Amino acid sequence: MKRRRLTPEGKAKVRAARLRRLRPGLVEDTMAGLAAMYGHPTWQRVHDPMSELVLTILSQNTADVNAEKAFDALRRRWPSAPGSSTARINRPGWGGAGIGGGPAPDWAAVESVPVAELVDVIRPGGLAPQKAPRIQAALRTVRESRGDYSLEFLGDLPALEALGWLTAIDGVGRKTASVVLLFAFGAPLMPVDRHVERVSKRIGLVPEAVDVDAAHELFLALLEPDQMHEAHVNLITHGRQTCHAQRPACGSCLLAPRCRYVDSRAP
């Protein structure tokens, strides 16, 4: 008799159970150590969900500060309302200086302009020829499906259903969709970016051979819903400030006693 193949969710539950059995308390110790180093970030909305989506697309494969320049350029070129605040607004987990305060860009104008013009405006963000069509495709999909450019309806859906809706848009992967839903609605999802992946694999929360999609599933099995935001923000912060890709500052890290990067036999 053939054994039934596990779903990605089933595999994640098996991996999570194995980690709890072989390294008991690792998740709890990691959360506590990160909180001792960086505090307990609390969720609050900073950007509307469409702005969050476009800003996250702009941040793909580039520094957050470059994405900010591109987003601010969008708003200057196609403002939705006259005037805007010069104050910078930022949110936990973001690596730039923040985007300028004020209304979102005129999304109808952004969708309808020739793609070459949009490429030129967002060029400071890097990879503009790839990102401009993605942004316009996302705007077009939302408008054709919903009649406007609002993503507020996603907040009324179960988190995984909202995730499926967003990832059906060309160019919107699981990390991007998870970022939008976590930060715009506080949805219990765990975006896995390069910092989260690096830190979690070094500690041993995520097996080295697990790909990013499977890592997203594993975190859903490892963490409680109310831990997602704090874990995401603190793992990113740890990756930026301490657990660098090159020359990590292990000597000042409170997670070192349980980190498999420091000691391959760490408990």
| Phi, psi (rounded to 5 degrees) for 255 | -90, -5
| Phi, psi (rounded to 5 degrees) for 248 | -65, 145
Rounded to an integer, what distance in angstroms lies between the CA atom of residue 139 and that of residue 109? 10
* 3-state class (DSSP) for residue 39: coil
Residue 85: per-residue pLDDT: 54
pLDDT band at 83 (very low <50, low <70, confident <90, very high): low
Residue 5: per-residue pLDDT: 86
> Using one digit for the tens of pLDDT, what is the confidence trace for 50-68?
999 999 999 999 999 999 9
CATH code of the domain occupying 49-185: 1.10.340.30
pLDDT at 240 over 90: yes
Residue 100: per-residue pLDDT: 78
Please give the share of the chain, as a percent, with pLDDT higher than 70. 97
Residue 147: per-residue pLDDT: 97
The residue ranges of every structural domain in the chain are 8-42+189-258, 49-185
pLDDT band at 81 (very low <50, low <70, confident <90, very high): confident
pLDDT band at 89 (very low <50, low <70, confident <90, very high): confident
Which residues contact residue 206 at a Cβ distance below 8 angstroms, ignoring those fewer than 6 apart?
Answer: 197, 200, 215, 218, 219
Residue 26: per-residue pLDDT: 98
Rounded to an integer, what distance in angstroms lies between the CA atom of residue 195 and that of residue 215? 13
> Using one digit for the tens of pLDDT, what is the confidence trace for 104-163?
999 999 999 999 999 999 999 999 999 999 999 999 999 999 999 999 999 999 999 999
CATH code of the domain occupying 8-42+189-258: 1.10.1670.10
In DSSP terms, which residues pair with 89 in a beta bridge?
Answer: 99
> Using one digit for the tens of pLDDT, what is the confidence trace for 90-104?
888 899 888 877 789
> Using one digit for the tens of pLDDT, what is the confidence trace for 154-203?
999 999 999 999 999 998 999 999 999 999 999 999 999 999 999 999 99
Give yes or no for a contact between 186 and 233, defined as CB atoms under 8 angstroms apart: no
pTM of full prediction above 0.75:
yes
The sign of the CA dihedral 263, 36, 210, 171 is: negative
